Chain A
Amino acid sequence: MTGGVRAPRGSDEVREALIAAAARLLGDAPPERISGRRLADEAGVNYGLIHHYFGGKEAVLRDGFKRLSEAYVAGSDDGSWVATDPFSMRHRPDFLRALAFASLSGEIDEVHLTHPTIDAVLERVRPTRDSGDETTIRIDVGIATVFHLSRCLFEQVIDPWIGYGDPEMSEAVEERFILILRALTLGLDPGAAAGGRRDSSGGPSGPG
């Protein structure tokens, strides 16, 4: 990133270059494997500036995560998708990959972030739940979010098998996935949703 380009200068430029570099690198490796030197190289700044402006690489990585998360919440520039769409994370593979790498390496504690759209989903869901305590509502949204993220992360692995060359099957299963996601979010029966029933009730077979 340094060849022929003027090195970032001054507090704002250096900070911005480092955060942008972190956002790029987090999609390709777990945080533990991103060294301060690698960050500095990617940003085209002197290594010592990381400590000068951030106190350490951890703070840069945290801001890089925040940057990815904000870009996801903002949705697309042209309005073609918003973060609350089903499986919207497929549009931000950089953030999804960063989440997956950090989780797989057990470093999600360090980055300490919240899922940016969860509050919006909770607001939407609560009025539809006539029963169920707040904890159960949150658990259901969490399960739905896992399905959302997993569907996007493993898209390239699973989808060729789902379609096996039959585009109609791919489309039909994608519709069921949206029904399943909705059922999980609302605490409805996901098995009935997989079978194509939209207004299933009763929820997943209860605990125990």
Chain B
Amino acid sequence: MSAPPADPPSTSRDALIEAAITLMSRRSPSTISGRDLAAEAGVNYGLVHYYFESARDLMAEARRLHGDWIVENLMDGGTRPVDPEAALADRRIFGFTAHVALEGGFWDPNEPRPALDALLELVRESDPDGDPVHHRATVAAVTLLLLGWPIFVEHNARGLGLDPDVDGEAIRSRFLGVLRSLYSSVGLEVGG
């Protein structure tokens, strides 16, 4: 049985979505043009408007797909939590989400949040008789810590008179301990 021939148009479309995720992890959607997206994807500029109404429409599609993208690529299809070390190092998680949050009117509050749902499902499986408030608070707190850490830690450390060169290991280890404590309170283990 031979594989169906690759469909070049859909490959270009995927490349544009990937490009949007990459660029939005670096800067605000309002500063990203269709030409930027085409150049990042390595496709012809005309394809942006072939597949999407506008560059903004393409980026909105990337935003809608971002949660599924995290579940597929970083949670093994929803079978395990995101590895903390990987999340903290990946701008496509915290940078992307921050730039979306900072862009007014770019977020639909009623959209599903597949990555949060997937983590909540893992928590429920691991702690079936647990308190639903505890479950939701834990998923949200872990997510907020993973998103906020790479953005704010340096500023805070310096504000506290800590030297990242000297205290970096202690800071990191204490932070990973916090994540372990939250996860283990609902019976999950992460990050080794």
Residues of A near any B CB (own CB < 8 A):
29-30, 33, 97, 99-105, 108, 112-115, 118, 122, 135-136, 138-143, 145-147, 149-151, 153-154, 156-158, 160-162, 169, 172-173, 176-177, 180, 184, 189-192, 194-196, 203-208
Determine whether the beta carbon of A191 is less than 8 Å from that of B184.
yes
A108-B155, A136-B174, A142-B153 known; A160-B110 Cβ under 8 A: yes
Query: Can you name 16 A-B residue pairings with CB atoms under 8 Å?
Result: A103-B154, A108-B154, A115-B160, A118-B159, A139-B160, A139-B170, A140-B174, A142-B156, A150-B145, A153-B101, A157-B100, A176-B134, A191-B184, A194-B134, A194-B185, A204-B177
B143 within 8 A of A: yes
Determine whether the beta carbon of B137 is less than 8 Å from that of A177.
yes
Determine whether the beta carbon of B101 is less than 8 Å from that of A154.
yes
Determine whether the beta carbon of B98 is less than 8 Å from that of A100.
yes
A161-B116, A180-B141, A184-B178 known; A135-B162 Cβ under 8 A: yes
Determine whether the beta carbon of B136 is less than 8 Å from that of A169.
yes
Chain A residues within an 8 Å CB radius of B131? 195-196
Partner of B151, one of A103, A139, A158, A180: A103
In the bound complex, how far is the Cα of B186 from the Cα of A108, in angstroms? 36
B161 within 8 A of A: yes
Chain B residues within an 8 Å CB radius of A139? 160, 162, 167, 170-171, 174
B147 within 8 A of A: yes
Task: Name B116's closest neighbour in chain A (CB-CB).
Answer: A161
Q: How far is the CB of A123 from chain B (nearest CB, A)?
A: 13
Q: How far is the CB of B162 from chain A (nearest CB, A)?
A: 6
Determine whether the beta carbon of A146 is less than 8 Å from that of B152.
yes
Given contacts A108-B155, A135-B167, A194-B137, 10 further A-B contacts (CB under 8 A): A103-B154, A105-B27, A115-B160, A145-B159, A146-B148, A153-B102, A154-B98, A154-B143, A158-B116, A169-B133
The 8 A CB mask of B109-121 against A (1 = contact, 0 = none) is: 1100100100000
Chain B residues within an 8 Å CB radius of A105? 27
In the bound complex, how far is the Cα of B181 from the Cα of A191, in angstroms? 5
B2 within 8 A of A: no
B12 within 8 A of A: no
Of B28, B100, B107, chain A has the most CB atoms within 10 Å of the CB of B28
Q: How far is the CB of A132 from chain B (nearest CB, A)?
A: 11
Please classify the interface of chain A as helix (H, G, I), strand (E, B), loop, or mixed, using the class held by over half of its residues.
helix
In the bound complex, how far is the Cα of B183 from the Cα of A194, in angstroms? 10
Q: How far is the CB of B166 from chain A (nearest CB, A)?
A: 9
In the bound complex, how far is the Cα of B175 from the Cα of A191, in angstroms? 13
Chain A residues within an 8 Å CB radius of B107? 156-157
A205-B177, A206-B177 known; A145-B152 Cβ under 8 A: yes
Chain A residues within an 8 Å CB radius of B182? 180, 190-191, 194
A141-B160, A173-B140, A177-B141 known; A204-B178 Cβ under 8 A: yes
Q: Which 8 A-B pairs have the closest CB atoms?
A: A150-B148, A191-B185, A176-B137, A115-B159, A160-B109, A204-B177, A207-B173, A191-B181
In the bound complex, how far is the Cα of B134 from the Cα of A196, in angstroms? 7
In the bound complex, how far is the Cα of B148 from the Cα of A142, in angstroms? 12
A142-B171, A190-B181 known; A172-B160 Cβ under 8 A: no
In the bound complex, how far is the Cα of B97 from the Cα of A100, in angstroms? 12
Chain B residues within an 8 Å CB radius of A33? 31
